[in-house]
Chains A and B, each alone.
Chain A
Amino acid sequence: MHPKTREKLIATVVGWLAAGVIFFPIFWMILTSFKTEVEAIATPPKLFFTPTLENYVTVRERADYVHFALNSVLISVGATLLATLIAIPASYAMAFFPGKRTKDLLLWMLSTKMMPAVGVLIPIYLLFRDSGAIDTRWGLILVYTLMNLPIVVWMLYTFFKEVPKDILEAGRMDGAKPKQEVWMLLMPLSLPGIASTALLSIILCWNEAFWSLNLTTSQAAPLTTFIASFSAPEGLFWAKLSAASTIAIAPILVFGWMSQRQLVRGLTFGAVK
């Protein structure tokens, strides 16, 4: 075999293996959602069985899926829009007009992500209580915006750095003001990067469970709390929990698949020059 062909073959096999390992838990969860509760915990695990939709029926009866899903969509999209809106001017300033401490500032922003969320639970809860933000969508949008802002700023900063300064300078020579510079030059040029950043932010918001469980009760509760309600201390619940999880991740999974071209293009944006 030609060495190049062999290399390609090995890369393909490794790629498929990695994809298989990553996708296996999701595959198993989907499979479990069609089993009965006893089949779901059978040892050795059953790969072949008569599928049932019983779990989906129970899940539908017990909770209002649409209410939770709508909250997830509104909160994820809202928080992403807000974070992007704040991050674009911030990253623009840091990428094109760096000061002495820009690098330190960036690192400090990222360091806030290193703190365990539970460490600030009580202060945040008290602030939320006093401002009437508990169990509100805007409250959760605010927390998610702050939670994702460091990552969004970092990603946009990296993407903006890839845009040649000369293009912006040329625009400035032609009389473009900073707002026009960002809106008419920078944003169209780095659109794949902005899109992939927004997609990642939506996914992070969609899957976030700590704050949504602690700061909501019923009105603003997103799909993560919907999933949590199917775990039980007494009695079997794996099949029902899998069914709830499957329908909870379905929208974001479909969304991810549909936009994967954009996502990959954005993530590799500027990687090859």
Chain B
Amino acid sequence: MQFNRLALLSVVGLLSSTGWALAQGQTLTIATVNNADMIIMQRLSPKWEQATGNKLNWVVLEENVLRQRATTDIATKGGQFDIITIGSYEAPIWGKQNWLVPLDDLGNDYDYADIIPSVKNGLSYNGKLYAVPFYAESSFTFYRKDLFDQAGIKMPDKPTYDQIAEYAAKLTDKSKEQYGFCQRGKPGWGENMAFIGPMVNAFGGRWFNEKWEPQLTTEPWKNAVTYYVKNMNAYGPPGATANGHNENRALFATGHCALWVDATSAAGYIYNPKESQVADKTAFAPAPVEVTSNGSGWFWAWALAIPTSSKKVDAAKSFVKWATSKDYITLVGNEVGWVSAPPGTRKSTYDNPEYVKAAPFAKVVYESVANADITKPTKDPVPYIGIQYVAIPEFQGIGTAVGQQIAAALAGQVSVEQALETAQRSTERTMKQAGYPK
């Protein structure tokens, strides 16, 4: 009898110790994209694993595959992922659906006040933060200072699109494969439309009026897209409809471009002499403006979020807190180099003299990100948030369809007017099917 009791006690003891061990050492599945900053996070994460006794299973996927995979799992409450990497486009939409765990309670030591307000806004819905920023970006103008000096041009503090066209004309020399206007042409809501969206905003346009009616055939859209097609054909690289962010980045880094308006996050790469031939010849200016400066530079953040279907929320919170903290940024600075520190998320990064020294573009990046107000993206009022996107689920389809029409206009298959009329009709149809105005 005594033996039995002893045996029972041992079993209970063993079970409780196992339970404790499980609580201490959980395995989390994290889904992410294959960006340089994420690869650094993956490389440094054993430090968090050692400190907490937890383990991470990494699932690295292409951006669109990740979006589809994560949406399927979250919508069906599959519970496959404990942490997912999402963009500022998804954060408010998924937050509204209650698909994500609110992340307002990571503790005082997390220093929420240090997060740049525009970034925090971009990842919130109804005042609740649904994803914590890993890195954030806006867009600005990369230009070749050496070519500007040779041509006797001085870049203004706030260039306009008209000025950019004028400089592009002067700096294009096709015999040397040097192009003055290298912009995205590959169709897609996150490709050519990421450039065209903010440009339309700068020309005074908007995607929808306050009644959710598409505005694609209005004057600002016509002016902006005509400007884009004209200058891309005259001063852009050949085969521009195949060029997205990566292709233009390579063209600029190999000295083929004089002007490029794109993601501020590419600055670290362009400034790195190991990867870029123009590291010491490049300077930066804000994204061009035209009739307004509202929404002229885009806003994007890659952030970490926890699906409500996760069963390991506490451990997941511990990781997202670690990976987006000030300490993590310092860790990257010390271990990998300050130029590789995740940009655009915390004010303290830009107060750090070591970072500012390593990243001469820091001030312009900070201002671009801080000024990118997703709640006031256009000259005229709009019912949506988002600068280069509209934060509604239907936008992925709409943005890509419009992007394809504009790419067709760029390739000369249709006129700008025809492209915009077709885009307007397809957008009207999609919005009607989705039941707008809501």
The residue from B68, B239, B245, B254 contacting A233, defined by CB atoms under 8 A apart:
B245
Alpha-carbon distance between A262 and B77 when the two chains are bound, in angstroms: 46
What 1/0 flags go to A31-45 for Cβ under 8 Å of B?
Answer: 000000110010100
| Binary contact track B41-76/A, C-beta < 8 Å → 1, others 0 | 010000000000000011111110100110011001
Q: Name B60's contact: one of A229, A235, A236 (CB within 8 Å).
A: A229
The answer to whether A125 and B247 touch across the interface, beta carbons within 8 angstroms, is: no
> A residues within 8 A CB of B68?
214
B98 in contact (CB, < 8 A):
no
For B42, B62, B253, which residue has the most chain A Cβ atoms within 10 angstroms? B62
- What is the total number of residues of chain A having a CB less than 8 Å from a CB of chain B? 29
Within 8 A of B (CB), among A179-200: none
B393 at the A interface (CB under 8 A): no
Name the one of A38, A221, A237 contacting B254, with C-beta atoms under 8 angstroms.
Answer: A38
Chain B residues near A (Cβ < 8 Å): 29, 31, 33-36, 39, 42, 57-63, 65, 68-69, 72-73, 76-81, 190, 239, 245-247, 249-250, 253-254, 263, 265-266, 269
Count, A-B residue pairs, CB within 8 A: 85
A121 proximal to B (CB < 8 A)? yes
Additional A-B contact list (11), CB under 8 Å, known A62-B42, A217-B57, A234-B36: A37-B250, A62-B39, A135-B80, A213-B61, A213-B65, A225-B61, A233-B245, A234-B265, A235-B246, A235-B269, A237-B246
CB distance from A210 to the nearest CB of B (A): 10
A121 to chain B, nearest CB (A): 6
- Contact flags A148-176 to B (C-beta < 8 A → 1, else 0): 00000000000000000000000000000
A212 to chain B, nearest CB (A): 11
For the complex, is A228 an interface residue (Cβ under 8 Å from B)? yes
The answer on a CB contact under 8 Å between A217 and B81 is yes
Q: Are B266 and A122 in contact (CB under 8 A)?
A: no
A90 within 8 A of B: no
The docked-state distance in angstroms from the alpha carbon of A113 to that of B315 is 43
A114 at the interface (CB under 8 A from B): no
A110-141 CB contact bits vs B (8 Å, 1 = yes)? 00000000000110011001000011000000
B81 with A229: CB separation less than 8 A: no
Partner of A213, one of B29, B34, B69: B69
Which residues of the partner chain B approach A92 to less than 8 Å between Cβ atoms?
Answer: none
Q: How far is the CB of A197 from chain B (nearest CB, A)?
A: 31
**A41 to B265 alpha-carbon distance, docked (Å):** 21
In the complex, chain B residues whose CB is within 8 Å of the CB of A225: 59, 61
Q: Tell me, rounded to whole Å, the shortest Cβ–Cβ distance linking A254 to chain B.
A: 27
Q: Is the CB of A214 within 8 A of B69?
A: yes
